[in-house]
Structure formats: C-alpha cells, structure tokens
Amino acid sequence: MDSNRYRVCVVGLGSMGMGAARSCIAAGLATYGIDLNPAACQALREAGAEDGGADGLAFAGDLDAVLLLVVNAAQCRDALFGPRGIAPKLRPGAGVMVSSTISAADSRALAAELQAMGLLMLDAPVSGGAAKAGAGEMTVMAAGPRAAFDRLRPVLDAVAGKVYEVGEEIGLGATVKIVHQLLAGVHIAAGAEAMALAARAGIPLDTMYEVVTHAAGNSWMFENRMKHVVDGDYTPHSAVDIFVKDLRLVTETALSLNFPLPLASTAYAMFANASNAGFGREDDAAVIKTFAGIDLPGVRRG
C-alpha cells in the first residue's frame, strides 16, 4: 500500500454517492465505498476503487477522510457510531465530511461526538444531482474549523466545482442547504402544478416544456424534472420521499425561528400527499400524479 496516497471512503453509493466516489477515483485518490447494496460496491470496485462493502472495518484505520452521502441524520449516525460504525476505527485527525441534508442541530451533535474522538468534521451539504456528482462538479456549502477544510481539501477538490466556505460554525452549511431545498422543492411543486394545468387545458406537454425552457418562467428544477413528466419516466434519481424529508426540515427550521413559509408549507403538503398516494419511491416529479382529471404521458389512471 502506498502510504503517501490520500485515502477516502464514500459512505452511501446512491446516485450522488456513486458519482462522488467515481470523481475521487478520477482525481487519483485511493477510494473505498460503503453501501448495503452489494451490486453498488461491486460497481465501484470495477470502476477502480480499492475496496467496498457493507462496512469499512477492514480499511477504516488506513483512511484520511470519510464522505457521508446517505439519506438522513439517522443513517449518518448509524454509519459513524452504529454497531458497524466507522468512526471508532478512524485515526485521530481524520476528516469526516457530512454531505447529507440534515438539520443544523443534528450536524452540531455529530460534530461534538466526532470531536470528542479526535476527528475533524466538515458540515458540507452538496447540490447538483447525479450528473454533477459524476463530473466532480457538485456545489458544496461547507462550514467547520479551518483544520477540517485543510484535511478534506483533496476530497473537496475531487468532487466540487464550487465550494462555498460559509463559516467556521458547524450548522451553517446545513442551514444554507435547507434554504436551498426550500427553493428546489417549491420549484418542483410549482413546475408540476404548471404542467398539470397545461394538461388540463389540452396543451401538449412537450410543447409547454419547450416554451418554458426557452422563456422567463424556467428554472433548473423545471427543466430537469419536468422532462421526466414529458417522457413519462419516473425512475427515481431523487425520490418524492427525499423532498418529504427535506421540506420537513425546511418547515421545522422555520418553526424554530417563528417564521412563516406559506409556499414551502404548501409544497411540503403536496409531496407528503404524493407519498401517501403511493408515489414516495418514484422520482420527485411524480408529485404531479396527485392532480386529478388530467392525462399524463406514460401514466395509466385507475
């Protein structure tokens, strides 16, 4: 083993995590992966990773850094401190980059436990989707001590097109991501409502999509997600249930600040309704399926 080579493990090999791990490989980092899905671990090994499996106990002691891209705070905690958690096996001074979308309070709690173990944490949520992750061009909203930034710089350089250093206070990165998710969720919900209205009015959805994406009403989320509606393809690159979770974080953050969010609250209700209707594991564009009285490409109404 080349002891001078920077070694990083990506925990969570979903669409974002797999892309980030491949970007680390492309950047020349010795890359490992952890995921409960054996096929994902095998795919990463075939892409050039050093190793991968359901836990990192075999290689944790060799790591310089860990990048967490799991779904929520509970999964972060389990990956770090659970029965097969990686944190106790890491060398003091190793960096942990928490890039899942979690609350500021959860971020602070994780950081306190990691600090007590002699580990450095960066509160560093990401955005950009699977394509940006695979290209090493994610946007990172990071907060933490300078030592954590320095320790994790090779990972940041590998996975990010832009790193925003929000500050040294853990939780600031999480909060910036939560505000961002307010916009992302509202844009998807508004896009779905607009396309549903077009369908009701008898406007061909491919025409409506072309008009909006070449006019002032466009947004990145509309352009990306409403294409799925036009194609009738709800393969979950980012599922409805992800935005149920994220918009819940948005509304809980607002409640803690006694601050009203009428649009975000409505968007949360729309995604929760879609999840309850059975679309939770479909692409988040499936929020449009909750509108009654319209015909959608590829969707058969019961």
Residues involved in catalysis: 177
Rounded to an integer, what distance in angstroms lies between the CA atom of residue 257 and that of residue 158? 36
Rounded to an integer, what distance in angstroms lies between the CA atom of residue 73 and that of residue 82? 12
Number of helices (H) and strands (E) in the chain: give both, helices first. 11, 9
- Angle, in degrees to the nearest 10, between helices 38-46 and 15-26: 20
Closest Cα partner for 11 from 46, 40, 48, 39? Answer: 40
Distances 68 to 150, 212, 293 between C-alpha atoms, Å: 18, 36, 42
Rounded to an integer, what distance in angstroms lies between the CA atom of residue 6 and that of residue 130? 24
Contact at 8 Å (CB) between 241 and 287? Answer: no
Rounded to an integer, what distance in angstroms lies between the CA atom of residue 41 and that of residue 35? 6
Distances 94 to 12, 109, 162, 264 between C-alpha atoms, Å: 19, 18, 23, 37
Rounded to an integer, what distance in angstroms lies between the CA atom of residue 197 and that of residue 241? 24
